[in-house]
């Protein structure tokens, strides 16, 4: 693939290839956050959209990642697609998506996932599985016969990219690495040693 001066367009082309390969959870990405003290944590989340303004995922705002993003509004993402031998790393500032965008996405989720968003006290200690099942049952009863609204503690975040790196595997571990760094309103592209 020829290198493009626009990293979002380049990501879109790679992502289209990924969709054609039909990988399980092709939207999976590692999300790294850090506490106010700079202690990192990472987990896999799903990409729910991307465009020039950034890369979007959703979560419980009271979860560990939600709390860390409130304290330290920067994050890193990493996609790895082994069949294509490609990886994309994204770093940037975080912004919460507008309520209208979060509402629209929440409404598109399966009802079970909507119920689960209300029932889960994400990242908090759970004494027994029965406790979670009781919370699910209570939420199902509360919204029986009605649409499930988005919880006020659940929303999306957009990683606004400041740095995007593309990695392509090569023989003898002499990988191709290209990094794009946002400077003012333009992207500066550089090659990196493997």
Catalytic residue positions?
A: 173
Contacting residues for 178 by C-beta, under 8 A, at least 6 apart: 3, 165, 166, 189, 190, 191, 192
138 and 130 Cβ atoms separated by less than 8 Å: no
Q: Round to whole Å and give the CA distance between 8 and 191.
A: 17
79 and 88 Cβ atoms separated by less than 8 Å: yes
Q: Round to whole Å and give the CA distance between 172 and 120.
A: 46
Sign of CA dihedral 98, 113, 110, 148: negative
Which among 141, 45, 154, 55 is positioned nearest to 105, based on CA atoms?
154
Question: What token pair was written down for 51?
Answer: 């465009």
């Amino acid at each position: 693939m020829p290198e493009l001066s626009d990293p979002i367009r380049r990501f879109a082309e790679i992502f289209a290839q990924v969709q054609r390969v039909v990988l399980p959870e092709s939207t999976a990405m590692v999300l790294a956050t850090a506490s106010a003290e700079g202690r990192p944590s990472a987990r896999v989340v799903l990409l729910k959209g991307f465009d020039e303004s950034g890369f979007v995922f959703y979560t419980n705002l009271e979860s560990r990642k939600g709390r860390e993003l409130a304290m330290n509004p920067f994050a890193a993402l990493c996609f790895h697609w082994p069949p294509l031998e490609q990886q994309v790393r994204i770093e940037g500032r975080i912004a919460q998506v507008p309520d209208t965008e979060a509402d629209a996405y929440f409404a598109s989720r399966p009802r079970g996932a909507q119920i689960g968003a209300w029932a889960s006290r994400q990242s908090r200690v759970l004494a027994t599985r029965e406790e979670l099942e009781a919370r699910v049952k209570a939420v199902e009863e509360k919204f029986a016969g009605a649409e499930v609204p988005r919880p006020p503690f659940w929303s999306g975040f957009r990683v606004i990219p400041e740095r995007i790196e593309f990695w392509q595997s090569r023989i003898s571990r002499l990988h191709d690495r290209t990094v794009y760094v946002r400077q003012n309103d333009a992207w500066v592209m550089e090659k990196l040693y493997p």
